[in-house]
Chains A and B, each alone.
Chain A
């Protein structure tokens, strides 16, 4: 009888320990962190991504942005030059927007009139410009990871990418690893 009870208690204790370890795994697996994969290069989408990121950082959430494909154009510095490109890379470089100031709207672009109107409205209503947003993002410690493969694909060179305090180059695996430990994951 006594032995049976002891066995039962030991069994329960083992189950409790197992649950405890499972709970701690759950608690530790998701950080207060936002991971966003930004693939679109439209002005409105980059704007949305930056507004959400800054709001998250203001709420002390760690923010990690992964720039891939068309969005990499937004990280080009319009003042920087990247010599020594092959002919296709040069063509891509010319056809794609050179920097966040040159992005098109996904709707109502109207050959560039749309973005000018939006910029005017944003200024009037006190919305930060994309330029200010990137500056704030840098100060808030928002991390930018640029997709290395997209850089190669579009023929962009690191020399033409903006100066940003927390910028690195990596592959999709880095995004997956970061996203896996984030409590918020977004894709735009």
Chain B
């Protein structure tokens, strides 16, 4: 998805993992994914660069759809759709 599309996508749950470094954001994502429905979009806020590659890999393994990320000032938002 393009940055414009991502910024307007309806987010069911937002996970703020900016306070934690690797593997914190991944762990937060795992803990939260269970609370949303299939087809819902979740965003993960992180300042840990590794998250940009870890979340897509995690999605690939779990079958969730990775949608992309948006850079914000000093952090970024990663979007995914639950399987």
Interface residues of A (CB under 8 A from B): 51, 54-55, 58-60, 122, 125-128, 136
Please, which residues of chain B bring their CB within 8 A of the CB of A55?
Answer: 22-23, 26-27, 54
Known: A55-B22, A125-B21. 5 other contacts (CB 8 A): A55-B23, A59-B26, A59-B58, A126-B48, A127-B21
**Which among B19, B21, B57, B62 has the greatest number of chain A C-beta atoms within 10 A?**
B21
Partner of A58, one of B19, B21, B48, B58: B58
Q: Can you list 16 residue pairs at the A/B interface with Cβ under 8 Å?
A: A51-B23, A54-B23, A55-B22, A55-B27, A55-B54, A58-B23, A58-B26, A58-B27, A58-B29, A59-B30, A59-B61, A60-B62, A126-B19, A126-B20, A126-B48, A127-B21
User: How far does the alpha carbon of A125 sit from the alpha carbon of B27 in the complex, in Å?
Assistant: 16
Please, which residues of chain A bring their CB within 8 A of the CB of B22?
Answer: 51, 55, 127
User: How far does the alpha carbon of A58 sit from the alpha carbon of B15 in the complex, in Å?
Assistant: 15
A48 to chain B, nearest CB (A): 11
Interface string of B6-20 (1 = CB under 8 A from A): 000000000000011
User: How far does the alpha carbon of A128 sit from the alpha carbon of B17 in the complex, in Å?
Assistant: 12
